[in-house]
Structure 1
Amino acid sequence: MPGTNLTRDEAATRAALLDVTSYGVELDLTTGETTFASTTTLEFTCREPGASTFADLVAPTVREITLNGRPLDPATAFADSRIALDDLEATNTLVVVADCAYSNTGEGLHRFVDPVDDKVYLYSQFEVPDARRVFTTFEQPDLKSVFTFTVTAPSHWVVVSNAPTPEPTPAGDGVATWSFPTTKRMSTYITAIVAGEYHGELDTYEGKFGTIPLGHYCRQSLKEHMDTAELVKLTKQSFAWFEEQFDYPYPFGKYDQLYVPEYNAGAMENAGCVTLRDEYLPRSRQPRSFFEFRASVITHEMAHMWFGDLVTMKWWDDLWLNESFAEWACYWCEANATEFDDAWTGFANARKQTGYRADQLPSTHPIAADNVDLHAVEVNFDMITYAKGASVLKQLVAWVGIEPFLQGLRAYFREWEYGNPEFKDLLATLEKESGRELQGWAQEWLQTAGVNTLAPAFEVAEDGTYSSFAVAQSAHADYPTLRRHRLGIGLYDEVDGRLVRRQYLEIDVEGATTEVPELVGVAQPALLLLNDEDHAYAKIRLDERSLATAISSLSAFEDSLPRALVWGAAWDMTRDGEMRTRDWVDLVLANIGRETDAWAVTRIPASTALAVNFYSDPAHRADLRATWESGLRELLLAAEPGSDHQLTFARSYAAAAHRDAALDDLIGLLDGSFGVEGLAVDQDLRWALITALAKTGRFGDAEIDAELEVDRTISGKEQAAAARVAQPTAEAKAAGWAAITDPATPNETSREMAMSIFRFGQEDVLEPYLEKFLDAATTLIDTLGFHKASTVLEYGFPKPLGSEATLARLDAWLADNDAPKGAQRYIGEARAEIARALAAQACDAR
């Protein structure tokens, strides 16, 4: 039985048969705390009268089904999340009355009660296939239509959807009805309903094509943290940039952004009704990288209004294009229109690294994945889609030129407005505008998986000049494609204590070896950097002299982008077992204190913590942990008071603390006996300190409970749950694992616990959890739902148990199991991470 799955072939058959004229959706949100009433009137035409098809609905109860005036028996017509529709006419009307269920998984219509004030908040999340959890649909992106929503809710609520919010009309005692205008033509997955006791602030943007009303919304308990002026500024800057560059008016009239609780994703591009994680409204001090990332999320979702909402993929095979484009566009906009003009450095230091990591896992896949059904879409919605796709589009822009690329986009928007093209349609437009042949490029970059490695290959003459120079390209044996790369090469010398670029050239790399005659006779620099300017998507290697310069003088770079590329190269070499972990730690401790890029400051210590605990030689791991702990303390005390460096080093020191003196420092930070000038020990930092102390056994339930009494917000409850499961006791792990695998545990709480429960240094109490995890893997997706289960499967694996014996056990399990493909994927990834760690440990032992 298909269940909630839908195949590409089924969708194509249905799209060939139907056109959807309109949806009328009536929702009554006053019928209870577990379900709500949903009535859908669906008007559609059929090209073959007499044919059969089906509509989609996920609901605990279907009360009435009427097709063209004929009542259908729900007991027979509704089965397996589908409504069978037979003997269709040329013009059809389907009316379905159902009770749909609220969720606590972030899918469909999520219901949240704020523990601070008991106020109720609802929001929808429909991507990929979850509008059918709220109303009856033809749940596929190419059956676009217009939607008219009517919502009945408590009269003191705020109700927001894709169309402008109307004035409510009274509908009884304390109840009102909102009758929204009909929307523009759109896909089901970008429709939205947000309702509850939200706080809202309104503004307008006056732009190239006229006025756009703006709204920003959050929970009442967060309104003091909603920095609306900054959010409005970013929104207006992004609108100005995109309207000018795309030369096409914003399509959806008004633009609301709603910060919602317990959100699975970062944000969702619902047309004119964008939902975002309310963690983006921080209640405690955050570093610049936090706000830089938030800006990228805001600009990412706005880019979707044109690319994704106005012009939408035909089927989920082109999901990559949707997300890759928005990801590229958000950094492009940030760098040109906001205060974050170094956004591409942050991209190189953080986001791009997630693409490299994903592309080296056994689950890697081509950017343009073969999504045969919805289950495949869910599995392939990853950092290949986002980070690698954006990196490759960045390279495409360099390949064809920004102006031809934009001309192609403008023509594409005009030709396909409110339609459903395929990638080949965009490619044809770009070829026409640029004059470049792109079919070969697309095959090379989009239809193959894996990342290439580029390394310098040279000889040096007695006078210190290159007598030969080439770029060597290699690929993993499982993914052997060698690709064309547009590659910058930078030569850097040490001048008065600075690393200064002496020479730069760009070449086209192709095949296993590309000779670079321009460098023959050129003096060898202190540091040679392949992929300078970061056009290419490839791992790069540093030669021995360049690596030595990096370790001693990385912070001497004048510019942040080449420094980011060297950080990335050294990290790749560490992960690949080509550079000792202890050398990586030396590099970090010597240079991170003077790093200027916000993303490098926050990301690199987190990566180093993983390396210390997982990639280091076990024989000297204790010494390296001590070096890392004491080095972070020195960095913390040396950092500028009140700086991002100081905040990051405080958090990192807390995470690394394990010796008595360091743990005493953490207690001193909490009670004020150990003061660090400029460091505000606010609520979020307090939870980080408490969790670190709980992890080592210095704090227990009593101290966690005491802090929770002070912070009874949902964030406090989630952080308390994370602190409890971090404790090094069998009882804490058992209680935590039971909660993580319980469907009743809210999705965000489950996520925080899954990321906290299995800690390095606690291996003795973690031993039973390899088998518990493998047993649970067969049922988690069915019991928790895909999104919630995938979080547990990805973050809740007992990685500290990584060993040769664990590898053997995972190999046996992978060879013979009944688990869903999604679960097999995550366990295969865990196995690969352990194998990588063991190779790095062997390198570190040398």
Structure 2
Amino acid sequence: MHVSDSARTAVLRRDETADRAAGIRLHSVSVDVDLRSARDLEEPTFPTSATLTFDAAAGHDATWIDFIGHSIDEVVVNGVPQAVDWDGARVRVRGLEPRNVVTVRGRALFSRSGEGLHRFADPVDGEVYLYTQYEPADCRRVYPCFEQPDMKARWSFTVAAPAGWTVLSNGAEVAREAVADGIRVSFAETLPISSYITAVAAGPYHRVDGSWSSGDARVDLGVLCRASLAPHLDADEILDVTRRGLDYFTEAFAQPYPWGKYDQIFVPEYNLGAMENPGLVTFTEAYVFRGASTAAQHEGRANTILHEMAHMWFGDLTTMKWWDDLWLKESFADFMGSHANVATGAHPDAWVSFASRRKGWAYEQDQLPTTHPIVADIPDLEAAKLNFDGITYAKGASVLKQLVAFVGEDAFFRGAQGYFADYAFGSTTLPDLLTALESASGRDLEPWSDAWLRTTGLSELRVERAATGATVVQTSPRPHRITIGLYRADGARLVRQDGIDLDVVDARTAVDAPGIDWAAVDLIVPNDDDSTYAKVRLDARSLDAVEAGLSTIDDALARSVVWAALWNAVRDAELPVARYLGIVARHAPAETNAALLADATAHARFALGRYAPDDARDALASAWLSTAWEALHAAAPSSDAQLAWARAVGAVASICADRAVELRGILEGITDAPDGLALDHDLRWLWLIALSATGHASIADADAELATDPTASGRLAYRTALAARPEADVRADAWRAAWADESLSNDELDATIAGVRAGGRRDLISAFDADYFARIRPTWSARSIEIARRLVRGLFPAGESTDAVDQWLSGNADAPPALRRIVIELRDGLARDLRVRGAQAT
């Protein structure tokens, strides 16, 4: 039976999946997929089947099995074939008995969107690579299953594939045999896991083996990537971080690593940073650095490796019942990634990057009208998909950091150990975790939970100083334990003189520090150790001190808090863009932390594009490009700073052509590059795309560059460079391709959208505003949520008013809530842009 694409839009709801779990007890799932046709790119489907063994409670003689595929050939219930009853998403089965064995056979679709079983053909050598990505609910695109996290099972996989391919799944390989046109590989049955963390990968992957041992325990390790990326795979560093993490977590959680082997595979066109499939963790290829890379990039990769490893316990061993408690795994893993990065000695400054990047993400998300509590209300899977956001990850991790300080690190980990012992291989909710932590710490955590997990928004902290004292003023009062850093100017440097620890609960809290001469304090930084989750405001005198001496503050974490305070002030129209850019220009060249430098330059470019007044943007962009250019040439050869400034030049050169001649000269070899600069393919493409966006690079230039870099990355950059040319018909063609060309993969779509938006040239694309609003709802219904989301977000018209988006929202009150949420968030961003620009124009 074949069902058209339009039927494949069924959304699973929380209430109906809870009813299914109440009546069905799943024991095991045996999967058989045949991927021998994968090399034939004209073949869109592959055979798949699943046999599910489960009990049905009295009164539950019927249920459904989830499958979104091409066709279903057969449904067998307890040995008896049934007529196929399938609506494109749900296979109805009837006549259930207390114990049931149900087999569903059909054909699934290869994916180009990164959802389900993604197929990628490497342009370098023509080889084909496959991998799966399921969270939250795309397992059903590859084989029939009960697609909900609380219905765990023991899974066994058999995969047929072309001869010579590497074939992987969650379990270890236990058998391999030759079959017609290939091989069939069988894998060990897993311990109980949810459908969304099952996994398959197949292709001629390059592999580096390793191992980890602790006492009598031994875990086989593997690091894999495409063959053409093998020269760039620094497997030794990845394995080192992996071993450090396994050492740390197995001791901290008092629970051995549960999943046998530990493979980590870097895959192309990946929608996420990584995914915690037990025994087969998938990562984006962006973590295989094919060009120059900074210490911040290596720290970020280590953080992700440790984040996913934490999931082996938080998420895989113990799993939320439903996506309301997504934070139970993601917030913990986000916290643990940074915590373990520091604790293992892999990257001692990981909390600096967390303060700057992850918390910045959370602050922005928490100020949107669509913000939600950390413990969210998730009625269905579309809502779940959109809640993989800054609240669930970074805000949750921020308040967990605060919780660890509140209950004590020892008590926190004792509580986690009890939690794993009580709920191993089971499903949990928030009260289960709180009970474990309360038992270990002796503290009542309900007030903390009510204040931090069930509320929305963030507090703002500022210090009002007077001649005889100071007061902490807090908006949206919550309980905080903070440290107020007090700094004085010592010549050209800002030196920390004192730190005041303070509990802040009310809207106004007097600072009891009789020994402090407040008149002598040049800079006051609330929360200068980043211990709580709050937006920091600097008073006028402190801002003056920062303007003069930010880069002289010794502590990188304190600098991170100050950099974040400045950026939030810009976003809230309290700090003019011109003054902010002046501070960045003065202090970013002296910033020694690679992550803070990268963030400062990225924020400067964002401010130019979104917040600078129209009549000042060109002059500000020219000045910023001059700053970046000078900093590039002044930076130490081959340093992180040099690379960061080279990237900053490329970013701003897309809107300012002042250095177009010099950039072309360097790319063409006519002019020498700065000494030590790694002018690798990635940087060359960044500069060439910028030149294209300002009309200083041609099709012939892009063709020549592609000839030197005909890789997947090169082809994506080439697509962007062509679409970025500042010609109306070029942008129109790219606009139409983005919406209409369904052959584009997820990354190809992003590359096309990047070209459409290059240089912020509203004059070239504003004519498509009405077309955007006409397209987004039909697109949401017709395309997968991943592709639709990229189109809706990526091509949103940043006009001069919110009138058009307001009209769409009022006329589409019945649109899918997930789509409306995205549009509401985009509207809020546009309104902020207009508000910030308007505040500076008055």
TM-score range (shorter-chain normalised) is over 0.9
| CA gap 1:31/1:631 in 2 versus in 1, 3 angstroms | closer
SS of equivalent residue, structure 2 residue 518: coil
Which residue of 738, 741, 745 maps to 1:740? Answer: 738
**Deviation digits for residues 45-87 of structure 1 (CA, Å, limit 9, x no counterpart):** 112165221111111110010111221111xx22241111223
| Residue 647 in structure 1 maps to residue 656 in structure 2 | no
Using a 3 Å threshold, how does the CA distance of structure 1 residues 3 and 423 change in structure 2: closer, same or farther? same
| Counterpart pick for 2:20 among 14, 19, 29 | 14
State the Cα distance separating 1:522 from its structure 2 match.
3.1
Q: CA deviation at 1:407?
A: 0.5
Consecutive unaligned residues of structure 2, counting only runs of 5 or more, are: 1-6
SS in 2 for 1:370: coil
**Following TM superposition, by how much is the alpha carbon of 1:822 offset from its aligned partner in structure 2, in angstroms?**
2.6
Alpha-carbon distance, 1:3 to partner: 4.1
Please name the residue that 2:659 is paired with: 662
* 1:730 aligned partner: 728
The letter for the 1-side match of 2:114 is G
Q: Distance in 1 between matches of 2:365 and 2:173?
A: 41
Q: Establish whether residue 201 from structure 1 lines up as the match of residue 208 from structure 2.
A: yes
What amino acid sits opposite 1:782 in the alignment? S
Name the structure 2 match of 1:716.
Answer: 714
Number of the residue aligned with 1:479: none
Match of 2:483 in 1: 488
The alpha-carbon deviation at position 521 of structure 1 amounts to: 5.0
The amino acid across from 1:380 in the alignment is: N
Aligned equivalents of 1:422, 1:386: Cα separation in 2: 17
CA contact (8 A) 1:22 1:147 kept: yes
Give the corresponding residue for 1:533: 529
The aligned counterpart of 1:45 is 55
CA shift for structure 1 position 760: 4.5
**Residues 78-89 of structure 1 aligned to structure 2 (within 5 Å):** 78-89=86-97
Deviation at 1:92, TM superposition (A): 0.4
Q: CA RMSD in A?
A: 1.6
Distance in 1 (CA, whole Å) between partners of 2:215 and 2:439 is: 27
Matches within 5 A, 1:439-838: 439-460=446-467, 467-475=468-476, 482-518=477-513, 521-524=516-519, 525-657=521-653, 661-675=658-672, 676-741=674-739, 742-799=741-798, 801=799, 803=800, 806-817=801-812, 819-838=815-834
* Partner of residue 478, structure 1: none
Say which of 61, 69, 75 aligns to 2:71. Answer: 61
Distance verdict in 2 for CA 1:46–1:423, change over 3 Å: same
Match status 1:322 vs 2:329: yes
**C-alpha distance in structure 2 between counterparts of 1:85 and 1:99, whole Å:** 18
Shift, 1:743, TM fit: 2.2
Identity of aligned residues (%): 39
Q: 2: CA distance between counterparts of 1:296 and 1:95?
A: 41
Deviation at 1:98, TM superposition (A): 0.5
Could you tell me whether the CA contact under 8 Å between 1:469 and 1:519 is conserved in 2? no
Q: Does structure 1 residue 127 correspond to structure 2 residue 128? A: no
CA shift at 1:682, angstroms? 0.9
Q: TM-score, normalised by structure 1?
A: 0.96
Instruction: Give the C-alpha shift of residue 496 in structure 1.
Output: 4.6
3-state DSSP class of the match of 2:108? strand
Matched residue of 2:173: which SS? coil
The alpha-carbon deviation at position 598 of structure 1 amounts to 1.5
Sort the Cα spacing of 1:821 and 1:565 in 2 relative to 1 into closer, same or farther, 3 A: same
Residue type of the alignment partner of 2:417? R
- Range 785-794 or range 125-134, more displaced: 785-794
Q: Is the 8 A contact 2:65 2:146 kept in 1?
A: yes
Deviates more, 1:732-741 or 1:296-305: 732-741
Judged with a 3 Å threshold, the aligned counterparts in structure 2 of structure 1 residues 61 and 228 are, in CA distance, closer, same or farther, namely same
- Bigger drift between 114-123 and 433-442 goes to 433-442
Could you tell me which amino acid in structure 2 is paired with residue 10 of structure 1? Answer: E
User: Closer, same or farther in 2 for the Cα pair 1:2/1:756, shift >3 Å?
Assistant: closer
SS at match of 2:326: helix
Going from structure 1 to structure 2, the CA distance change for 1:334 and 1:770 (only over 3 Å counts) comes to same
- Counterpart of 1:69, as a letter, is G
The equivalences for 1:282-321 within 5 A come to: 282-321=289-328
Q: Deviations over 1:518-577 (max 9, x none)?
A: 257533411111012101111011011110010110011011010110111111111100
The CA distance in 1 between the partners of 2:80 and 2:635, in whole Å, is: 74
- Which has the higher mean CA deviation after the structures are superposed, 811-820 or 367-376? 811-820
- Cα pair 1:654 1:666 within 8 Å, conserved: no
Query: In 2, distance between residues paired with 1:530 and 1:110?
Result: 47
2:303 and 2:709 map into 1 onto residues whose CA distance is 30
CA displacement, residues 130-186 of structure 1 (integer Å, 9 cap, x when unaligned): 1111111111111101011011111211100010123411112x4111111111111
Code of the residue aligned with 1:240 in structure 2: it is D
Match of 1:171 among 172, 175, 179: 179
SS at match of 1:166: strand
**Structure-1 separation of matches of 2:760 and 2:191:** 56
Kept in 1, the 8 Å contact 2:656–2:694? The answer is no
The one-letter code matched in structure 2 to 1:361 is L
Distance in 2 separating the partners of 1:2 and 1:516:
60
> Structure 2 counterpart of 1:785, which letter?
S
In 1: Cα distance, 2:183 partner to 2:347 partner: 44
Secondary structure in 2 aligned to 1:30? coil
- Structure 1 gaps, min length 5: 461-466, 476-481
Relative to 1, partners in 2 of residues 1:391 and 1:209: Cα closer, same or farther, differing over 3 Å?
farther
Contact in 1 for aligned 2:62/2:95 (Cα 8 Å): yes
- Once the two structures are overlaid, the 10-residue window that deviates more, 643-652 or 577-586, is 643-652
Aligned residues: 827
Q: Distance in 2 between matches of 1:540 and 1:49?
A: 57
**Distance verdict in 2 for CA 1:516–1:700, change over 3 Å:** same
Deviates more, 1:240-249 or 1:302-311: 240-249
How much does 1:411 deviate? 0.6
Q: SS of the residue aligned with 2:557?
A: helix
